[in-house]
Structure 1
Amino acid sequence: MKKWMFGLILAILACIIFPTHNAVAEEPLPIRSITKEVNLLADDYATIITTIPENATVIMYEKSNGWAKIGFMQYTGFVKLNVLKSIKPEPMLASSKNPPYVRETNNFHAKPLGNVYVDSIVQVYATDEQGWSFVQYGNLTGYVIATALKTPKTKTMVVKEPKGLSVKLTASTSSSEIAVLQDKTKVEVYTLLQGWAYIVAGDIQGYVVASKLQNTTIPKIGKFNYGVVTKTKRVALTFDDGPHPTITHQILKTLEKYDAKATFFVTGHRVEKSPDVLKDVFEAGHEIGNHTYNHPKLTDLPMKQVKSQIEQTNKLVKSIIGEEPTLFRPPYGSFDKEIQASLSVPLIMWSVDTLDWKHREPAKTLDAVQNYSKNGSIILMHDVHQTTADALDQVLAYLTKQGYEFVTVSEILN
């Protein structure tokens, strides 16, 4: 027998005897709740291993002849199938500074089974009186301290993939495929994680490539000073020059108080310094616009530098939130026909200039809004001045009393 044939036979036998490891993630295990206090039994269906309290959360491994093999804390055994009921999980965001552990039991000294990446989504099935949540995270199932989790803020987006978008169990190309979403499908984005987005679309939940999603409203390319006037009174609040490491967060908190959406025209050099702030703005459901890299007067630059200012910021923003800015605003409102023709997104100006950058007085910012705002207005402010953050609550209170809805620029243009 030739050596190469002998080697081939050995290789085939090795595959049969020692099958290769499957790198694809397994499907998550079924989680159930106990409907009443019950004894967990050994495989003789008689010996009591431990007692499981009512409403405890367990893992069901298999079922047969009216019995279920389950896992409870560190124990494995059998219970009657009729004491189990299905429970619907709630997606929660891992928000602690360090990756929280998934533990075998609800105790800090319990065996750690693995970590949850910060900013990733876990499925929470129940939270006990001791403050531990029973979670499922990919192939990990166990207990996470509840203070490490928070309710995520969602954003509606749409699939932009003609061939369909694969939904994965975890944020990995090697993870198992849960489903395929058709082009133009609307999804709710719960978080972004290293180029992946956790989405919910009907009964489908999982991770997709973030760059394959886009905002639901996309205005036509052009120059805009005003938004579309509708029967519902609307204004678009815009903030330039950020993100700022502290002031932008203050503005986000005030916007959340009034359930207001806004558009942030960011500069690349500030994005580099505060990438997490940009991510917080995006994940709060606000729109991101491009305001160049370091805020030059574009009409004083050659076109090569103009394009570099815009493209550099586009790439930075996409590396953080998974998509490029959807709008552009030129610094100082300075542009010409050549600059506008080079853009692939709408050029946005404003109809109400609060001059907040100049006077730095909250009362004057409020006066400008009161005197000049109307249905369809695009209001210019800056999220790098403390006085603007100080004025915002009064501005929103006034506009709310006047019956205005707060929308993004893309929304007001449609």
Structure 2
Amino acid sequence: MNILKKWFVAVFVLVMLFNIQHQVADAADYRTVKVVSGSSLLVRESPNDTANAIGNLVKDEFVIEFSSSNGWSHIQAGDVKGYVTSSFLSVPPSKIKIAKSKSGLVVKSKPSPSAPTLATLKYNMIVEDYGSVGNGWSFVQYGNVVGYVKSDFIGQAKTTTKYVNTGSGVIVRNIASQSGASVGSLSNGTQVTVHATLVGWSYVTAGDIKGYVVDAFLSTKKPVVPFNNINFNLTIRDVEKNEKSKLIQKLQDGRETYLIYETTKYGYSAELTYIFIGGQLEYISYDFLPEQDSYHTWDQMSTLHDRLHRQGIAEFGTDYQFTYTKYSSLHTNWEKNSYTALITVNDDNLYTSARLTYYRK
């Protein structure tokens, strides 16, 4: 038991370090529409109260927020680009609308036909409509395209109900492309409302999550969903009743309970371990080399990690953080809504270990 405890403490420290460094590249350029909630708001050259004022925004004026940090937001409003106090911005209400102009929905930088064109969106594309700004214009967003369109050229979408039908779930993106920023994920069997389908992508809503998913991963009939063991609300009894793998051992050590199974994962034989502390599930671990001591070379370690890494991308998506220490360890880390997933290949005192661990957030 002491070996297990030491191993989980070591990996937990690694995860904490990864969390400090973690950045999701897809979200780096993501833009958020905000509205001025105060009576007026100064725009400054830099995020500092003493910086020069370069503009003044009024209540209910829309802005594009590029990023926020330490109480300041980097924004653009019209031709003015600078920094404002974040607390004076709020998220405006919006409605999901569909582009109904068959010649394309033209997005302008200002509510005027003579303003520069930012993009022309295809017929049946979905936009977030933040409301009318007068004179027949509406302020909308599609991914990172934020601007003004003629209100008559957008309308209500006819919706249908479908279900996520893929074992690993789906990534939801802000545009209909694999290059879009990830805005969330939906698990297998989740019911979604489909607002439109275009070139293999469907715009869906499910609770607070909304965006584009690959349409091939949806079906009209709810799939039979197998036991989802990556669920940190499971009790010890839930696992014992529903886990189909062969139970090897159940161990109790004070407040800690270990359920250890023989299984397969990513095409490898593995030991699957559930760790409960005080009856609450905290860790789920797959040990891919449970009985193998070896002098693995760095090339062999890298090859093993690469195989596991590719399987991890298929399960969790491309929003990962990769780090390594040559001749010693390789790690890939994913941050999901309710858990952290970590693939590790380590060499410690001539013993090579390879694990996938899920951690409760």
TM-score (norm 1): 0.43
Instruction: Work out which structure has the larger RCO, using CA pairs closer than 8 Å and 6 or more positions apart in sequence.
Output: 1
Higher helix fraction (1 or 2): 1
Q: Flag the structure with larger Rg.
A: 1
Higher strand fraction (1 or 2): 2
